[in-house]
């Protein structure tokens, strides 16, 4: 029983790492732009399929394909903001939210038109896991955990050590005050989309590595991603990391008593409980 619990904990950390990367982007966009970006899941899907084209189509090494896919998704996010969201920023947040739903449908349709509606994989075949003290750990799972740790550490250093990172934190706390002290808010918004897009792509690629590619893979993960952001504290990137791990581990441990098909319901339930008990989340984000 102990080995089974530890095995589920490992699976939960893997899933939590993916959710954390997705939730970071959601939290950054909400913290800076004050709206829930419902196209974020489809940005994850787009990033995963960009990596598929670079890795399988162009036969680039996976690390190179990963970087190129993150860069392409980040630029796509900036272009979407310039063409759509920027024109709507001074309107009601509900208008932005609805527009993000429309953008999600557009991105999903583009993925289906370009790459097709079928399942895809990066590497066909069976991957043999490592056997450590009775635990089964696949090499891809180690890659996901280590990769997420590297990206989170890089984001921490960026937010704490760079001028644009400090400007992002200032703008997230008080936009009007940030403008008064001379912070270039448009530049901060661009950087926000670049980071959110790159993190979304990383989450999508890791999800595809752990499972497989499908045009609605990101949409299916959108609720757990938002649950992670809300549990950690919406608008707080560090809270998104904690929230992702909490949701991921809770979903995996729930399989002890529930069918795996109820994993999303577990994420939703935790989100509702947090909204009732502590609306600002674990790290005191926005209500």
How many angstroms separate the CA atoms of 198 and 43, rounded? 9
pTM: 0.93
Angle between helix axes 185-210 and 62-80 (nearest 10 degrees) is: 140
148-162 pLDDT, tens digit per residue, is 999 999 999 998 888
Averaged pLDDT score across all residues of the chain: 89
Report the alpha-carbon angle 248-117-55, nearest 5: 70
* Selected residue with higher pLDDT from 283 and 209: 209
**How many angstroms separate the most distant Cα atoms in the chain?**
59
Any idea of the CA torsion for 50, 242, 16, 32, to the nearest 10 degrees?
-20
For the cut 90, the answer to whether the pLDDT of residue 205 exceeds it is yes
Torsion of CA 113, 118, 119, 123, to 10 degrees: -80
Give the tens place of pLDDT for each residue, 217-238: 999 999 999 999 999 887 778 8
Instruction: Report pLDDT digits (tens) over 34-84.
Output: 888 999 999 999 999 999 999 998 999 999 999 999 999 999 999 999 999
Q: Which CATH architecture has domain 2-122+139-277?
A: Orthogonal Bundle (1.10)
The domain limits of the chain are 2-122+139-277
Q: Report the percentage of the chain scoring pLDDT > 90.
A: 59
- pLDDT greater at residue 108 or residue 97: 108
């Amino acid at each position: 029983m102990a080995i089974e619990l530890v095995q589920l904990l490992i699976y939960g950390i893997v899933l939590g790492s993916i959710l954390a990367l997705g939730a970071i982007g959601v939290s950054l966009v909400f913290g800076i732009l004050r709206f829930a970006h419902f196209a974020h899941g489809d940005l994850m899907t787009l990033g995963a399929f960009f990596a598929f084209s670079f890795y399988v189509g162009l036969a680039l090494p996976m690390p190179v394909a990963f970087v190129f896919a993150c860069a392409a998704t980040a630029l796509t996010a900036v272009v979407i903001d310039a063409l759509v969201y920027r024109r709507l920023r001074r309107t009601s947040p509900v208008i932005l939210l609805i527009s993000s739903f429309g953008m999600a449908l557009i991105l999903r349709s583009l993925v289906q038109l370009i790459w097709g509606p079928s399942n895809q994989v990066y590497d066909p075949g069976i991957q043999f896991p490592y056997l450590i003290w009775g635990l089964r750990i696949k090499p891809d799972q180690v890659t996901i955990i280590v990769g997420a740790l590297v990206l989170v550490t890089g984001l921490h250093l960026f937010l704490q050590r760079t001028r644009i990172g400090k400007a992002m934190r200032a703008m997230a706390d008080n936009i009007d005050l940030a403008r008064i002290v001379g912070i270039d808010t448009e530049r901060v918004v661009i950087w926000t989309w670049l980071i959110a897009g790159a993190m979304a792509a990383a989450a999508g690629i890791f999800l595809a590595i752990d499972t497989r590619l499908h045009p609605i893979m990101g949409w299916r993960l959108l609720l757990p991603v938002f649950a992670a952001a809300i549990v950690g504290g919406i608008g707080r990137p560090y809270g998104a990391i904690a929230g992702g791990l909490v949701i991921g581990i809770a979903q995996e441990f729930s399989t002890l008593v529930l069918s795996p098909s109820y994993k999303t319901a577990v994420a939703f339930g935790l989100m509702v409980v947090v909204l009732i008990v502590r609306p600002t989340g674990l790290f005191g984000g926005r209500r």
